[in-house]
Amino acid sequence: EDEELLLADMIAEQLEVRPFKNSRIVTISYRSPNPEFAARVANATATAYVEQTLNMKLDSTRLTLDWMTRKAEEERKKLDAAEKRLQAYMVANDIVTLEDRLTVTPQKLNQISSQLVNAEAKRKEMEAIYLQVKRLASRPDEAETLPAVASDPAMQTLRSEILQAEQKLRELSAKYGPKHPVMIKANGDLEVLKRKRDQEVERIVRSLKNQYDLAVSTEESLRAQLDRTKAEALNLNQKFIQYSALKREVDTNRQLYDALMLKIKEQSITKETQPVNLWIVEKAAVPEFPVSPNKKKNLLLGLIVGLMAGIGLAFFVEYLDNTVKYPEETEKALGLSVLGLVSLWKEKDAQLERVLLEQPRSTHSENYRALRTAVMLSSAEGAPARILVTSPGPAAGKTTTAANLAIALAQAEKKVVLIDGDLRKPRLHKIFKLANRHGLSNYLAGGSGEALLHKGPVDNLAVITSGPIPPNPAELLSSSRMAKLLDGLQKEFDVIVCDTPPLLNVADARILSRLFSGTILVVRARQTTFELAGKAVKALADVNAPVLGMVINALELKKSDYYY
């Protein structure tokens, strides 16, 4: 047996079964150096599978039939026991008339309840009348005014006679004295009538008492009858619930037993005619050529795998890149509008800071003119009077942006002053080739404001250089002289543009941002990360600095996306 199992494992290792797509056909193949042996193993495997499937179906049918037979016998016993319990219960509780009684009892309950309500109302009415009449029975004169007494025919007759007697007595008193026989007889008649009235009142009280007692008795009788009927209904309901449960058990057991018997008959009929829906469509033939190695297939597969790996690597690198690249993505991530896009500067022999002066018709010049337009349209009043230019980190192009924005505004007939507020690494004096011995730091340190303004490279533009680098730039920029300087310059110029150090490195830009009406944040494409840009935006928000928007610098613009 061990040798047979080992041989079977060896054959199974080279055996392969593959389904055809969108069909119920499978292909059995076997790899072997001997082509005749490979064909024999494939054919033998298919034949063995058909035979094994047939045997499995027959075994399954036999097992199912045996199980259903045992189960049917169990259910037959349950059905017999349930029917006996139901029959015994029906005999013990007279279930034959139960349904008719269940139908009549609710109607009887409703009828008695209605009668009880009327009887209770009648009793309360009679009780109120009786108590009222009883309370005034000793005062007939007042009692006869009650509706129950006054409506009595005898009382009405007596009352009429008493009124006539009193009228007659008044007429006679006008003719005779009180001791006259006629007057004595008239008074006597009146007293007789009043005694009759008193007796009649007593009779009416007794009559009302009898009516009241009868109403009480009727109410108690109806209430007792209602209680008995309720108890009877409850008892009938309990019996019917038990009867329904027993009947439901019988019905369920009978349905289950009938279903099992039907299935047993079906299985018995089909037991010996069990179909096997398996056919060998085509027998394996002895192959003429080996299936491996397939050099063309391996070469093509390697090419496809290499191409897909390269594309996947490119997408993965792009996914890991967390830097600013696209305007729409940047606006969505940071919540700020993009004021302008500046394409990547690739010329090594020219300065981007002077592109508007040296190459006014270039693409980069148009970029800065577009930025100027965006700034001038950023508010209904036009360009803000004070514009601060900064960036999250170094080498983003903030100084270049400040210089070209100031030149572009000056070329638009605006009087502009450009301030080099970067007292740590100033560059504006180098860009415009200006002396820097005296500048902003001298003035903020207490020097005079004379010769502070330098003429710019174009008309309408003045430049204030940084001056010597001080040891305490932040303290100087936060002094009152800085605010005073800006107030004075605003009276002479239309726009003040100020270049500052990077926002996240030092506090200079945050200090100055509070003195300016708008801040422009410059980021460099594929260098400034969204994390740094987000921190910069938060830093400006923390000091309540108004932000005009962002400028994306050094962006590789595509014709199809951002240019024409």
Question: Percentage of the chain surpassing pLDDT 90?
Answer: 38
CA–CA distance, 200 with 140 (Å, rounded to integer): 9
Q: What is the pLDDT of residue 149?
A: 67
Q: What is the pLDDT of residue 524?
A: 96
DSSP-derived 3-state class of residue 222: helix
In sequence order, what are the residues at sequence separation of 6 or more whose Cβ sits closer than 8 angstroms to the Cβ of residue 178?
none
pLDDT tens digits along 214-255: 888 888 888 888 888 888 777 777 877 887 888 888 888 889
- The band of 135, judged by pLDDT with boundaries at 50, 70 and 90, is confident
pLDDT reading at 3 higher than 80 = no
Q: What is the pLDDT of residue 563?
A: 47
CA–CA distance, 411 with 132 (Å, rounded to integer): 113
Neighbours of 467 (CB within 10 A): 23
pLDDT reading at 1 higher than 70 = no
User: Domains of the chain by range and CATH?
Assistant: 10-140+196-292 (1.10.287.620), 327-562 (3.40.50.300)
pLDDT reading at 561 higher than 60 = no
* DSSP-derived secondary structure for 55-120: HHHHHHHHHHHHHHHHHHHHHHHHHHHHHHHHHHHHHHTTGGGHHHHHHHHHHHHHHHHHHHHHHH
pLDDT reading at 97 higher than 70 = no
**Averaged pLDDT for residues 364-370:** 96
Out of 309-323, 389-403, 415-429, which region has the weakest mean confidence (pLDDT)?
309-323
Q: What is the pLDDT of residue 314?
A: 67
- The band of 564, judged by pLDDT with boundaries at 50, 70 and 90, is very low
In the chain, what is the straight-line distance between the N-terminal and C-terminal CA atoms, in Å? 82
Rg (CA), the chain: 58
- The band of 304, judged by pLDDT with boundaries at 50, 70 and 90, is confident
